[in-house]
Amino acid sequence: MARIKTRSVRLLVLVLLLCFVAISAHAQTAQEIARKAFASTVLLVMEDANGQPLSLGSGFFVRDGEIASNLHIVEGAARGYAKLVGTKTKYNIEGITAVDTERDLVVLKISVSGAPLSLGSSDTVQVGESIYAVGNPQGLEGTFSQGIVSSIRQVGSDKLLQITAPISPGSSGGPVLNSKGEVVGVSVATFRGGQNLNFAIPSNYLKAILVKAGPVNPLTIAKPSKTQRSILSDLGGRSTEGVTGGKLTWDSYTQSGDYSFSLHNQLRESVKNVYCLVIFYDTANIPLDFSLVTNSGTIPAGLAKRVKGRVEGSVEQLNSPPLGGFHGKHPSWIPPRAPRSHVEFRILDFQIVD
């Protein structure tokens, strides 16, 4: 009888040990997940036809030479490149192999191989489950954050994962992983009612378009019209919406290129580290030059901040040529003075102040 009890105890211990090993084989440490995710995550920089940046974002390898990201990052871009985390080499985006306009997903073809991440099932995700988000906020490559699934939102016939892991605009398109290191969502920074809410597109939608992926198509996706709706339409703006630039003035008497403009924070939260690209055009609406302005200070909710910049004096002269015979004397040339030609503002990135 004693031998039987001893064998039973040994068998029970063996079963428990095997269960522990099985669980350990599936669950991974945060360090292991981060290491695997960094090997797959890329920084995306999208540009217009003149090579000037339109947006920053993130993406990750889902197959050899193919990366997944958010559609809104590439909308309106003429070209772009991807850069692996921790490297300096830039790889041109060759085109698009799959797209889902309703769920803000796109699969891009690039000229480099990567380490694809495994796609898990988003149907098994539960509220309270631990998740990890990886991306490139403010262009800071390889940012890893931890959180939980705080809710699973029903939007029409679709679902969204609401998560607590912070997602800055530059992290849009990055992977959201579970404790097994599997992708269960694609990050997307959204705002609803001015609040900073973090969402992820469920991975099952990404799986569906990968099955239908076809040949490489040109990178020519126009911005959607106001009548076109996506899964995010009812959640408010996306990416860098909520902060705008405007009211530029030339501020010198000698047309030396000194200027200032206002950054307007339209959100209910304070923001900081605003990256704004200012593009100057001549009277024929041809680009002259651009200037990247960074405001690291805090802009409170609903308020604006004047920031300064400078370009070559010739840019000011071509953008706002003097009125004949009145240069330096006419009231319209007493600073601050408004530009006479077009000036464009592109908010590339910013950070919500917690």
Q: For residue range 180-226, list pLDDT tens digits in order.
A: 999 999 998 655 444 556 889 999 999 999 998 888 888 766 555 44
Supply the mean pLDDT for the chain: 81
Encoding tokens for residue 225? Answer: 């019209």
Instruction: Kindly tell me the sign of the dihedral angle through the C-alpha atoms of 281, 282, 287, 289.
Output: negative
Q: Domain locations in the chain?
A: 243-352
Per DSSP, the three-state class of 80 is strand
Confidence category of residue 280, pLDDT binned at 50, 70, 90: very high
Which residues does 272 contact at the CB level (< 8 Å), separation at least 6?
Answer: 295, 296, 297, 298, 299, 350, 351, 353
Amino acid in position 127: V
CATH architecture of structural domain 243-352: Sandwich (2.60)
Phi and psi at residue 188, to the nearest 5°: -150, 125
More confidently predicted of 277 and 249: 249
In tens, the pLDDT along 64-114 reads: 899 999 998 888 888 899 988 777 788 899 999 999 988 989 999 998 888
How far, in Å, CA of 126 to CA of 130, rounded?
A: 9
pLDDT of residue 188: 85
Q: Residue 183: its pLDDT value, please?
A: 95
Structure confidence by residue, pLDDT tens digits, 142-151: 678 889 998 8
> How far is 12 from 233, CA to CA, in rounded Å?
54
213: amino acid identity, one letter: A
What pLDDT score was predicted for residue 227? 45
Q: What integer pLDDT is reported at residue 26 of this predicted model?
A: 62
d(CA 51, CA 80): 8
- CA distances to 41, 132, 259, 330 from 32, rounded to whole Å, are 14, 12, 48, 67
List the beta bridge partners of residue 59: 42
Question: Span 341-346, mean pLDDT?
Answer: 92
Could you give the dihedral angle defined by the CA atoms of residues 104, 107, 108 and 114, in that order, rounded to the nearest 10 degrees?
Answer: 130
Most confident of 110-124, 129-143, 218-232: 110-124
Burial of 334 (0-12, 13-18, 19+ CB in 10 A): exposed
In this predicted structure, what is the pLDDT of residue 182? 94
pLDDT of residue 22: 46
Enumerate the active-site residues.
72, 104, 172
Handedness of CA 184, 115, 71, 273 (dihedral sign): positive
Which of 12-26, 150-164, 174-188, 213-227 shows the lowest per-residue confidence on average (mean pLDDT)?
12-26
pLDDT of residue 117: 93
